[in-house]
Amino acid sequence: MTPEEWLRAIRAESAVLADSGAEVLGAEIPACPGWTVHDLLGHVGAVHRWAADRIDGTRLYRGYDGIEVPAGEAVIDWYVEGRDQLVASLTAKDPDDTVPAIGGPKTVAFWYRRQANELAVHRWDLESATVPGGQRAIDPTLAVDGIDEWLEVFAPRFIARGNGVPAALVGRTVHLHATDIDDGEWLCEITPEGISHRRGHAKADVALRGPISDLLLMLWHRRSHKDLDVVGDDALPVPILELVHVT
């Protein structure tokens, strides 16, 4: 995807969060136990501010967890302000400029991608609370990008920060196969360091087949692998998915 495509996704997905009414702020987010819509808006609004801070180089925040979120319905306008700050920071720089980022310096384009994918999953979370069963699938192009990002950024980062890869998983393989798009297949192999991956069709210990949106949501613990078509070792996905946990 391009920065322009990510920016369109940021604007479209954030508009759903921005349209939240005061009456839904207490609705619980099924995939995030203990969270309400208010908590979700606070989280994403804080993440937007933290990302803008990194892009701008102002260093106001060490992380997003310590950013104060307003109580009550004021969180809605506060969220919109954070979204607008993010968009202004992104568009004020060249996408190829180098800025602080997760895991070390990266280009501004990294933050376009990260915020677009952050919003896509949390928009789905929001709708799972406000229109249960009616949440819209994540855009296929964005979902493909989200799976690539999960494999390239989050799997290695969180496996390195965790307790390592259990020896029993090393060498095991998983085939992710999107059934609703072309070029939506990945072969993943568990290594002592993490998860190696490549695009394409291949035999594996287990194949997980389904819509591309559901594959991404499974990686982020929003869907169960049992919601998909599972071929092979149906117990294998559980310990592999447990290697990467982040809200």
pTM for the whole structure: 0.96
Q: What is the pLDDT of residues 143-187, one digit of tens each?
A: 999 999 999 999 999 999 888 899 999 999 999 999 999 999 999
Determine contact, residues 46/63, Cβ cutoff 8 Å: no
CATH of 141-241 given 3.30.1130.10, 3.30.1050.10, 3.40.50.300, 3.30.1330.10: 3.30.1050.10
Q: What is the pLDDT of residue 58?
A: 94
Please calculate the CA angle 226-140-228 and round it to the nearest 5 degrees: 10
* Domain boundary assignment for the chain: 3-136, 141-241
And the tokens for 174?
A: 């998983």
Is residue 198 within a helix (H) or strand (E), and if so which, with residue range? strand 194-199
Q: Name the H helices within the chain.
A: 3-18, 37-56, 74-91, 108-130, 140-149, 155-161, 212-219, 237-241
Closest CA relative to residue 223, chosen from 243, 203, 198, 241? 241
Name the band, by pLDDT with cuts 50, 70 and 90, for residue 68: very high
User: How far is CA 110 from its chain centroid?
Assistant: 13
CATH of 3-136 given 3.40.50.720, 1.20.120.450, 3.30.420.40, 3.90.180.10: 1.20.120.450
Per the prediction, the chain carries an average pLDDT of 97
- pLDDT (average), residues 81-98: 99
And the tokens for 86?
A: 């993010």
- 62 pLDDT more than 90: no
